[in-house]
Amino acid sequence: MSRPEYLAPPEIFYNEEEARKYTQNSRIMDIQVQMCERAVELLVLPEDSPCYLLDIGCGSGLSGSVLEDQGHFWVGLDISEAMLGVAVEREVEGDLTLSDMGQGCPFRAGTFDGAVSISALQWLCNADKSCHKPVQRLYTFFSTLYACLSRSARAVFQFYPENSDQMELVTAQAMRAGFYGGVVVDYPNSTKAKKYFLVLMTGGSVPLPKALGTDEDSQGISHTAKRERLKQQRGKSIKKGRNWILEKKERRRRQGKEVRQDSKYTGRKRREKF
């Protein structure tokens, strides 16, 4: 199967039909959620403190929903108008920006406490127009991203490098822009579970986080089980439960949005229909 970035530019590939198909695919949604949760984990954000995050290549807001579920505020950036249209229909809580990441991040210096990106970075390695030069576009992107992050922030990119040369191209331009860090490969010995995360830091020579699936202990406990255990330890509401729904509704009220009144039926599991 051909890589999507070789079929058409992202703003054309992700048309209205593809955007809806992407957002309605339960398998894609589950994978997107898992990868974003892992990316947030690699950001090492302060606990119990909401942060202001940038979601690069936010698409229809699947990863943004993960950020808001964890109590953070976010801004999404994407080049596909159709994808952003689906995000608006889904009533995501983040602010949305139609923009080409290869032309830079159009935000003020020091705006964000961190940034995440799921399945978007590899698109910058492809020249969709005669004027596109991947090296220049990558450097423009990373240098402007570096500027709009606070000096204690991290940026984590889940991406699909085609080969080692492409991975070297990406990391070299990130380091040239001022970042520290490198690539963390989760489950490196698995063909299906293997995931690449580019972890970038704005300052200090801090060791890279440990990858998942590199020893017997991490292989014996699934990543999903670890996430649920950590959430329970931190006292966070189980997703889709009554407390989670009430917390989300309260956030929407604070933002001035219209929300249905709470009742004894809020969050109650409905009977199966025959």
Tens digit of pLDDT at every position of the chain (274 positions): 567 766 777 777 777 888 788 778 888 888 899 999 999 999 999 888 899 999 999 999 999 999 999 999 999 999 999 999 999 998 899 999 999 999 999 999 999 999 999 999 998 987 666 777 889 999 999 999 999 999 889 999 999 998 999 999 999 999 999 999 999 999 999 988 899 999 999 976 678 889 998 764 444 345 555 555 555 545 555 556 777 777 777 777 766 677 778 876 677 665 554 4
Indicate the pTM of the whole model: 0.76
pLDDT in the model for residue 142:
97
Q: What is the largest CA-CA distance in the chain?
A: 61
Task: State the amino acid at position 118 in one-letter form.
Answer: I
Whole-number pLDDT of residue 218: 44
Q: Is-contact 135 173, C-beta < 8 A? A: yes
Residue carrying structure tokens 């699909």: 160
Phi and psi angles of residue 73, each rounded to the nearest 5 degrees, phi first: -100, 145
DSSP-based three-state secondary structure for 182? strand
| pLDDT score recorded for residue 205 | 67
pLDDT, tens digit (0-9, with 9 covering 90-100), for 155-186 = 999 999 989 999 999 999 999 999 999 999 99
DSSP-H helix ranges across the chain: 10-13, 16-24, 26-43, 62-69, 81-89, 134-148, 164-176, 216-220, 223-233, 242-254
End-to-end CA distance of the chain: 40
Q: What is the pLDDT of residue 217?
A: 41
- All domains in the chain, ordered by first residue: 4-209 (3.40.50.150), 221-259 (no CATH)
Q: What is the pLDDT of residue 274?
A: 42
Segment (H or E) for 56: strand 52-56
DSSP notation for 59-113 = TTSHHHHHHHHTT-EEEEEES-HHHHHHHHHTT-SSEEEE--GGG---S-TT-EE
What is the tens place of the pLDDT at every residue in 65-77? 999 999 999 999 9
Taking residue 96's Cβ as centre, other Cβ atoms within 10 Å add up to: 20
